[in-house]
Chains A and B, each alone.
Chain A
Amino acid sequence: MRVKVLFFASMREQLGGPSEEIELPASINTVGALRDHLRARGGVWETSFAPNRAVRAAVNQDMAQGNASIKAGDEVAFFPPVTGG
């Protein structure tokens, strides 16, 4: 299935771009599984998605935990903890 993945702030800079369309195997159907899938690319991906890094996620523009499910056509975003206000 195909999903759109977005990155913001320091993660956008580290990963070299704001977004990409990714074709995922059917088994990658949660936010946590997608995070592991991206980390497995190695290099900057391994660093940005390291288990000890604070990474927040949103599915279709709603904050989501690792167990949140994802389906074809979803917009999944990864970003560092927010610092607005």
Chain B
Amino acid sequence: MKISVQREDFDLGLEVRTISRNSKIGAVASFIGLVRDVRMTLEHYPGMTENAIRKIVEEAAGRWQVMDCTVIHRYGELEPNDQIVLVAVASAHRGDAFAACEFIMDYLKTRAPFWKKEHRGAAATWVEAKAADDDAADRWNK
């Protein structure tokens, strides 16, 4: 398992190859989140961020077969089209890989301490949390 909170960009191909080396792995599901149309700064809580993501991955591994997993989340200054987050889950079969990947992403949105600040011209505004993100995380408990 690899969890990294970093300024630097990442390479999907490299990360997927790294968790695909075990011959028992038959499926890797991955998700990448991108910056849409506005420049932003991402702040986080060093230490807690990594712990929170680790707990989310451990919870996923308790629900589905997770043979390996990589989560990378960037912070700092990001431009439109930049990659923000990667979740990649390796499993024997696709069902577990898809479900665990989506679960990790949904929980990360509501439990990992990151905050986005958008820059439009000279104006900077903190992004408000969305109720839809809470709903997405809650549906895993139904």
Which residue numbers of A lie inside 8 Å of B, CB to CB? 6, 8-10, 54, 58, 61-63, 77, 79-85
Contacts and interface: CB of A to CB of B under 8 A. Distances in A.
Q: Is the interface of B mostly helix, strand, loop or mixed?
A: mixed
Interface of B: 33, 42-45, 47-48, 51-52, 73, 84-85, 105, 108-117, 126-129, 133
B109 A84 contact: yes
Contacts, number: 73
B111 A79 contact: no
B45 A81 contact: no
B7 to A, nearest CB: 14
Given A9-B115, A63-B52, 5 more contacts: A6-B45, A10-B126, A83-B127, A85-B105, A85-B133
A61 B113 CA distance: 10
B51 A82 contact: no
Contact of B126 (A54, A63, A80, A84): A80
B85 A84 contact: yes
A82 B48 contact: no
B52 A80 contact: no
A47 B73 CA distance: 31
Nearest to B117: A9
B129 A79 contact: no
A67 B114 CA distance: 24
Contacts of B116: 83-84
